[in-house]
Structure 1
């Protein structure tokens, strides 16, 4: 059973002192290694000479002598359905060459590796059985490559959040989310994978955790998508610290840019829609949407879809079956473990 041995620490970046010290071309510092939960390891292959593992199977060194193509390593356990998984890889050597990738793949995809063993290529994503994120900042699946986020290099921490409840995968760079990279992964038997073409390139597994989806997690996701709720949540002493340690990989999905007037009107509209007093009057009154189209709040609730247009990167504040739950009830559940709102003044 995995046990947290070190408290969560926001300071995960290597200092100049760390970067100035190399031992055999590798970083030896523990920066970012604050979680120390390992629910899986890299799998050993006695007949494989294109990569080496340390005694604990945390550190993988690709092409320890010289490179003659692409090498790939796989985790020792497949991911289970209806679970959330998060793992992080720290780049402890300088990255160069054709490609270095972090991703996932099926058993069949790993077996196809023999086709690329003596080729210098971006192996993860060359078929429909693997998915990968390149150190060049691109993602790839089924030979389709697209720009995704920043590239990564020495001392970078690349995180992967795989949601096997919805079949979506999202990457993190130094614990900052980069957005959903892949979808449609549900009901597949997937393994963590990594590949590289450069000689003596090394990376270290610094955490590998899993979590069942709970109502508590869904409430926290809603809070993280709504600036008003997140502000209230952050003001509760000790609450952020508790959930940051339990769900450290769930960072707020709130834009840090200054909202436009239209976005402010949209947010006020959604907040009013989820207020109990507004619900009690919804049959007699009409709310005006930010686009000045009159529509009853009941009709809007049944037809509203998340706003993911190019003009706004905000998702709807409340999602799934929790969209009709009052804001105060979500915060109460996170702090007290109950959605009961019988004591609210505005409750019917």
Structure 2
């Protein structure tokens, strides 16, 4: 083995790239300090958030709804500001089922309100009055869904909610008269229909809002058997009225049909009673709010069959059937309806009329819903230019794709 002689390398002969540089050491130190500063700021902010959440009061269920919805909307705003590249993906990284909807490829939709609607209740219960007057969100509608039974006088119902025709994110209670939507968290739109197909005759039912009303949409309406109730379970949208097979009244006061939106009434919230009258003889669909007529929503519905329907996108929301009646279109019905039109401001239509007590009792038992509802009418509203798309303009967005957020 030949031993190589030791050769001493002159430092000045080194490549300039291999020479130690004071400037390079200072740059590396600056980068490390910058990364450390950023990590320290993030950790400090995270500790502050945890401390704030630990001290946050938890005295109200409605306040819990508001906070969860506010966090969800804040995330949606962040996505909208950051761009639309990843808008179609849920929090787990998987693509949403709503990709089949061509409308979902447009720009991010406007952010819905996360604050529940107040002051639109049918009754003046103490809990409702307290919630309406109090300015703090911590006591909004405290205990109302447990205590208030106003307007729930009926004991016999022509139909209830159908346990076999509903979205997967629904749960029935109260003898299938109350439907609860999105028990844990909301990832889209849930819907349900009644057990009875409404054919010939007169049909009237009332839906009571038994939870805070907020979110993308909560709707009451009708639809045919062709409506797919579970189609938008991963999409936040106004399900009723998206096609020609359904009509839906939103809690925002907009009437939906064939994808068009029309300003129809004022908003409704927790405690509101929404009545629906389907007259297949005259072919009209009429809506009521707190037992006062708000207008005719549709005409020319003769020889068609519909189901009563509701839908919701809000987490832990609920609605309850408090009345469902049906009657044939007889001379007796037409007379009672005409009496109600002639005496719209009377609490008891038959009061003061020279009728036998037995006849009054029979009429109240069979057609009490006709004698108690307000019969003022207005013409079906025309589509609003602001709410509908004009020729050549992009179609209005009805759906909103968001990430699933736990409440």
Structure 1 segments (4+ residues) deviating >4 Å: 18-23, 230-234, 237-245, 307-310
Which position in structure 1 is the counterpart of 2:223? 105
Looking at structure 2, the residues matched to 232 and 170 of structure 1 have their Cα atoms a distance apart, in angstroms, of 20
Do the aligned partners of residues 202 and 233 (structure 1) sit closer, same or farther apart at CA in structure 2, a change above 3 Å counting?
Answer: closer
Do the aligned partners of residues 43 and 14 (structure 1) sit closer, same or farther apart at CA in structure 2, a change above 3 Å counting?
Answer: farther
TM superposition score normalised by structure 2: 0.54
Say which one has the larger Rg: 2
TM superposition score normalised by structure 1: 0.62
Is the contact between residue 14 and residue 155 of structure 1 (CA under 8 Å) also seen in structure 2?
no
- Listed one character per residue, the Cα deviations across residues 101-144 of structure 1 (whole Å, up to 9, x for unaligned) are 001101111x2x34322111111000011111110111111112
1:178 corresponds to 2:294: yes
1:73 corresponds to 2:192: yes
User: RCO greater where, 1 or 2, for CA within 8 Å and sep 6 or more?
Assistant: 2
* 1:1-348 correspondence to structure 2 within 5 Å: 13-17=123-127, 22=142, 26-45=145-164, 48-54=167-173, 56-81=175-200, 83-109=201-227, 111=228, 113-226=229-342, 235-236=352-353, 242=361, 243=363, 246-250=367-371, 251-253=373-375
- Listed one character per residue, the Cα deviations across residues 250-275 of structure 1 (whole Å, up to 9, x for unaligned) are 535469xxxxxxxxxxxxxxxxxxxx
- Listed one character per residue, the Cα deviations across residues 259-305 of structure 1 (whole Å, up to 9, x for unaligned) are xxxxxxxxxxxxxxxxxxxxxxxxxxxxxxxxxxxxxxxxxxxxxxx
- Listed one character per residue, the Cα deviations across residues 155-197 of structure 1 (whole Å, up to 9, x for unaligned) are 1111111111122111111111112111122222210100000
Stretches of structure 1 that go unaligned for 5 or more consecutive residues are: 1-11, 256-306, 311-348
Q: How many residues align?
A: 244
Do the aligned partners of residues 137 and 168 (structure 1) sit closer, same or farther apart at CA in structure 2, a change above 3 Å counting?
Answer: same
Do the aligned partners of residues 145 and 22 (structure 1) sit closer, same or farther apart at CA in structure 2, a change above 3 Å counting?
Answer: same
Do the aligned partners of residues 75 and 52 (structure 1) sit closer, same or farther apart at CA in structure 2, a change above 3 Å counting?
Answer: same
Stretches of structure 2 that go unaligned for 5 or more consecutive residues are: 1-121, 131-140, 382-407
Looking at structure 1, the residues matched to 340 and 273 of structure 2 have their Cα atoms a distance apart, in angstroms, of 22
Looking at structure 2, the residues matched to 162 and 96 of structure 1 have their Cα atoms a distance apart, in angstroms, of 27
Task: Report how far residue 19 of structure 1 moved.
Answer: 6.5
Which position in structure 2 is the counterpart of 1:341? none
Do the aligned partners of residues 248 and 159 (structure 1) sit closer, same or farther apart at CA in structure 2, a change above 3 Å counting?
Answer: same
Looking at structure 1, the residues matched to 327 and 166 of structure 2 have their Cα atoms a distance apart, in angstroms, of 34
Is the contact between residue 159 and residue 175 of structure 1 (CA under 8 Å) also seen in structure 2?
yes
In terms of fraction of residues, the more helix-rich structure is: 2
Task: Report how far residue 35 of structure 1 moved.
Answer: 1.9
Give the match's secondary structure for 1:74.
strand
